[in-house]
Amino acid sequence: DYLIVSVWLNRPHLTWLTFPILIAVGCWLTVLLTDSATPELRATAMNVIDVTEVDGKQNVCVRAFTSISSRSTRRADVGFSIQIPGLEELAETTTIPFARAENVYGGMYRPHGSRLSQESFLHQPATEGWRSGVRALPMPAQGSHAFLTEGWSAGINAPLVESELVVTSNGLLEGSFTSRLPVPLRDWFVVYGSRAYQPQRRGVQNPRPAAGDEAGSASTRNDDDDRALMPGEVCNRERSLTKVTELRSFLSSTRATRAAAIAGGQSSGVSAALANYDVLNDDPVDIMMMLSLYSAAGGVDYTRVHNDQLRRMEVSDSIRLNQVLLIGLIDLPVTTVYVDEQPVEPLTQTTVVRLILPVEQVGAIVNNTEIPPAE
Identify whether residues 120 and 232 lie together within a single domain.
no
* Entry pTM: 0.72
Residue 76, in any domain of the structure? yes
Question: d(Cα 74, Cα 86) in Å, to the nearest integer?
Answer: 37
Identify whether residues 127 and 194 lie together within a single domain.
no
Identify whether residues 111 and 245 lie together within a single domain.
no
So what's the pLDDT on residue 65? Answer: 92
Residue 274, in any domain of the structure? yes
Full domain range(s) for residue 99: 43-153
Q: What is the DSSP letter of 95?
A: E
Say how many domains are in the chain.
2
Residue 169, in any domain of the structure? no
So what's the pLDDT on residue 90? Answer: 67
Identify whether residues 106 and 225 lie together within a single domain.
no
One digit per residue, pLDDT tens: the chain, 375 residues? 778 888 788 888 888 888 889 899 988 887 776 655 566 888 999 999 999 888 778 888 899 999 998 887 778 888 898 888 766 666 678 888 886 544 444 444 454 555 555 555 555 554 445 568 888 777 777 778 889 999 888 877 778 888 888 888 887 888 888 888 889 998 888 888 888 888 876 544 444 333 334 334 444 444 455 678 888 888 887 766 668 888 887 877 755 444 444 455 554 554 556 667 777 888 888 888 888 888 887 777 777 777 787 888 888 887 777 888 899 999 988 888 999 888 988 888 999 999 988 888 776 443 344 444 444
Identify whether residues 146 and 232 lie together within a single domain.
no
So what's the pLDDT on residue 91? Answer: 63
Residue 374, in any domain of the structure? no
Closest CA to 118 of 131, 129, 135, 102: 102
Identify whether residues 148 and 241 lie together within a single domain.
no
Element (H, E) at 32: helix 15-37
Identify whether residues 190 and 93 lie together within a single domain.
no
Three-state DSSP at 6 gives helix
Identify whether residues 238 and 115 lie together within a single domain.
no
Residue 345, in any domain of the structure? no
Question: d(Cα 315, Cα 296) in Å, to the nearest integer?
Answer: 9
Query: Which one of 115, 135, 153 terminates a domain?
Result: 153
> CA-based angle 50:53:58, to the nearest 5?
75
Identify whether residues 224 and 282 lie together within a single domain.
yes
Residue 355, in any domain of the structure? no
Residue 102, in any domain of the structure? yes
Q: Are strands 195-199 and 241-246 parallel, antiparallel or unpaired?
A: antiparallel
Please give the distance of CA 288 from its chain centroid, rounded to a whole number. 5
Residue 279, in any domain of the structure? yes
Identify whether residues 74 and 207 lie together within a single domain.
no
Identify whether residues 320 and 194 lie together within a single domain.
yes
Handedness of CA 221, 320, 352, 275 (dihedral sign): negative
Beta-strand (E) ranges in 154-225?
A: 161-167, 173-179, 186-192, 195-199
So what's the pLDDT on residue 8? Answer: 82
Identify whether residues 301 and 258 lie together within a single domain.
yes
